Structure 1
Amino acid sequence: MKPITIYGFQCSKKDEKIIVKRINDYLAVQDRTMSKAKNKSLLNARLPLVLTHFYWNLNKSKGTWFEIFPNEDAEGKYYNEKNKDFAWIIITRIDLMHPMYEKFSTESFLTEILNAAGFEYFILDEKEED
């Protein structure tokens, strides 16, 4: 995995609750959960996408961050125009310099998150850094 990887879940927009529940069920085993961001400053940081909310998780014990948001925003614009059949996007970030980073366990954690969602997923983009 690259430090920043963008995936698309092949599902419909209405699958939001299913994805959130499945990932939160997985995280609960580790006494963790996703947070739902609705704060205006956090949403404005994602402009030009106009989101009403997104979900995120920071896992310091693995050196990871991920966020999940709809591919189509509130104004009908797409984050990933080429892949409209991916209704939900997940961006994963790995902090390679984090003291708790360990390649195998960190990447396994993120793979388990992707699998927990229960939908087919595909890599849309990979980057070394933002």
Structure 2
Amino acid sequence: MSVLVITGTGTEVGKTITTAAVAAAAVAAGRSVAVLKAAQTGVRPDEPGDAQEVARLAGPVTTAELARYPDPLAPATAARRAGRAPVRPSEIAEAAAKLATEHDLVLVEGAGGLLVRFDE
């Protein structure tokens, strides 16, 4: 089992496409894959998020999303504006570890860039 974190320098730099490409290659090689989006921002509850886009592009993968906030902001800021608790890094680590017990590969897609905060 492996856990890989996909991050970038900011928003709209190709994290989701990169995650989908890695997932598709792993699926093609016969590996079981899970995609974890810790915090999805700027997407309504009834819209598909990044994890669902990876599944659409890569094929049969397990998807998980820990939190979704309506405003297109850094997760900590979006959580505060929504009046909700932010996702803590420890929660992300726990979710990834659990998925890793059930899958050959876990891809954790970040939000924004490498230095974007998930909590305060």
* Same topology, TM > 0.5: no
Comparing both structures, which one devotes a greater share of its residues to strand? 1
Comparing both structures, which one devotes a greater share of its residues to helix? 2
Normalized against structure 2, the TM-score is what?
0.35
